[in-house]
Homo-oligomer: A and B are copies of this chain.
Amino acid sequence: MTRTSNTPSDIAPSDDAAPAAEGRPFSQILDRLRGAGLRPTRQRMALAKLLFDGGDRHLTAEMLHADAQSANVRVSLATVYNTLHQFHRAGLLREIVVDSQRTYFDTNMSDHHHFYFDETGELSDIPGDQVEVAALPPVPDGMAVSRVDVVVRVRPADA
């Protein structure tokens, strides 16, 4: 039992023998970070947990930061930004541009597109197979497509 100090004991101020309301996949997250060459620090672990534990999410740095505070995780906003970008580079998150003035990160890495609700600034997924982008024109010389984004902007239908 050579445990140095790896155990993330204070990720949330819960009892030691927590009721496992949501918290098994520690090793999963750990592996994910390790696999990405990122040290599993307290804050990265906590953020990863918040990000990946509950289904697909679209969020901004501010939102994740708020989430963290709610969960009694102490992280600076700067770290949230750092972490989001690192996760993005590591291929764990997608960055979505639908609104200048707000950068969204998407935990859903599968091939898909988005509805964007202009009013509320919210995003929702459109499964990749429900949109068909047919017949792309030839890509400019020496260039390669890195991604095709389809954004369906919607607003409340009037009357």
Contact = CB atoms under 8 A, between A and B. Distances in A.
Nearest to A126: B137
Contacts of A136: 126, 130-131, 152
Q: How many copies does the complex hold?
A: 2
Interface residues of A, number: 40
A118 B146 contact: yes
Contacts of A146: 118, 153-155
A153 B157 contact: no
Interface stretch (A10-18, A26-34, A70-78, A97-105): A97-105
A1 interface: no
A20 interface: no
B149 A144 contact: no
A64 to B, nearest CB: 16
Interface in A86-117: 97-103, 115, 117
A121 to B, nearest CB: 12
18 contacts: A99-B100, A100-B100, A115-B143, A117-B143, A130-B136, A130-B137, A131-B135, A133-B133, A139-B152, A139-B154, A142-B156, A143-B155, A143-B156, A144-B158, A145-B153, A145-B154, A146-B153, A149-B153
Interface of A: 97-103, 115, 117-118, 124, 126-127, 130-137, 139-140, 142-158
